[in-house]
Amino acid sequence: MRKSIYAIIACLFLTFNTILSLAAVRLPSILGSHMVLQQNSEVKLWGWCSPAEKITIKTSWDTITYRTIGESSAKWSTKIKTPAASGPYKITINNATVLEDVMIGEIWLCSGQSNMEWGGDQGLKQSLDEAPNANNKNIRFFYISKSTSDFPQENCEGNWKVCTPEEMKHFSAIGYFFGKNLQHALNIPIGLINSNWGGTPAEVWTPKQLVENDPELKAASLKLTRDGRWPILSGYTFNAMINPITNFEISGAIWYQGESNSGTYSTYKQLISTMLGSWRKAWQKDFPFYFVQIAPYSGYGNNNVCALLREAQNSCLSIPKTGMVVISDLVDNLSNIHPVNKIDVASRLANLALSGTYGKTGLTYKYPTYKEMKSEKGKITIQFDNVDNGLISKDKIISECYIAGEDHQFLPAMAKIEGNSLIVWNKTIKGPIAVRFGFSNTAIPNLFSKEGLPVNLFRTDSWEVDTTPVKK
């Protein structure tokens, strides 16, 4: 009898220790049921456990048992192979933790400030109209709660959700419509990670030491306008909202930000290059980065800062594996810094990704850009890239063209289309030497490629630009 009692106690002791051991295995929030893992890859699984704890991982898409052992730091990690896009599957860790309804597909990070953040929760009509139709088990959302930190964090507050009408309303409208376009075109599961915060300058998404150790970036960061609604300190959101997910394999990132850096336009390219470089280094992957050029807006306090920031964004295209969409035509109210048309913005981003990342053909995604000019006989001829089929104007008179002579004084210009070129002149200027097109805070030009994409703003000069306060 006594031996039986001892046996029972020993069994209970072993069972209790086993339960404690299993309970010690923890996962970051980005690894959970309903998630999407990158297809055809070796993806990392990681977390925390007891030191020297043995960990086994099994997936329902193959018969391999993956094994690893907890480190002395109470952390564990391993890599598992994923198949082609498919699902749903299960992942079982130590026969105790089970991740259900896991899909294999493509994952995109959606980041930036309010124009990326906004959706149904902000009353956006396009999101609210779409919501009743937003039942799609092949689109998954991961929400990262707004948070800041002085130091890089290993975990964040967030969770994976299946796309439903209610969940879709909480998500970035641009992110959702971008993902919907990809899911429809590729017919595979799409995972979308929401990591954005309205009003934030790009500095907060960049590691602090990279800003602090660069004299120009540091000086620019000190000029940022403080606002109690969002952080402005370098690295704050990178530490809390980007660093915790850098072990998680992604396909690429979409970015809509810049309004809060309009006052520091001169260092914006350097800042984005630094930010993106740090992200790619953290992920150990040169993933594609597609961004939205900010829209015209009348509320900037200084002249032309919007144009100069947009010019700086255009220069960011020299960074490898980047792409930009122009949206100067998608604005219906110049006094609203949040243009309400997110569907077309997302469509242009999706066309960039489908063409540039997934090799789809027949899509319109290259906007006309200034190439070179020639001045003769009182007129300037402008040549463009990406106008194989020619230019069109939506009105009889081509708007937002300005021309200057030796005095550097710009005057409104007449313009006409000749094939793939634009001829610009003003009869009062006999020897014109420079043209500016759409180069202001509020310009909504009416010149397009025949495929329907707007000609990007440009200037042929490198002269000083008026950034004095706007007269009221």
Structure confidence by residue, pLDDT tens digits, 207-251: 999 999 999 999 999 999 898 999 999 999 999 999 999 999 999
pLDDT surpasses 60 at 8:
no
What are the start and end residues of each CATH 2.60.40 domain in the chain?
25-103
Name 391's bridge partners. 449
Amino acid at 180: K
**Mean pLDDT for the chain overall:** 94
Domain 25-103 = CATH 1.10.10: no
Write out the H or E segment, with its range, that includes residue 86: strand 86-93
Superfamily of domain 106-356 in the CATH hierarchy: SGNH hydrolase (3.40.50.1110)
pTM (predicted TM-score): 0.94
- Residue 257 sits at the vertex; the CA angle it makes with 252 and 261, to the nearest 5 degrees, is 135
Give every CB contact of residue 1 below 8 A, 6+ residues apart in sequence: none
pLDDT in tens, 360-399: 999 999 999 999 999 999 999 999 999 989 999 999 999 9
Q: What's the distance, Cα to Cα, between the start and end of the chain in Å?
A: 96
**Phi, psi torsion values for 239, nearest 5 degrees:** -60, -40
Average pLDDT over residues 434-447: 98
Spell out the residues 6+ positions from residue 269 whose beta carbon is closer than 8 angstroms to its own. 312, 313, 315, 316
Distance CA 321, CA 334 (A): 31
Residue 24 is predicted with a pLDDT of 66
Length of the chain equals: 472
Residue 472 pLDDT level (bands cut at 50, 70, 90): confident
In this predicted model, what pLDDT tens digit does every residue of 295-318 receive, in sequence order?
A: 999 999 999 999 999 999 999 999
For CATH 3.40.50.1110, list the domain ranges present in the chain: 106-356
- Chain segment 402-431, per-residue pLDDT in tens: 999 999 999 999 999 998 999 999 999 999
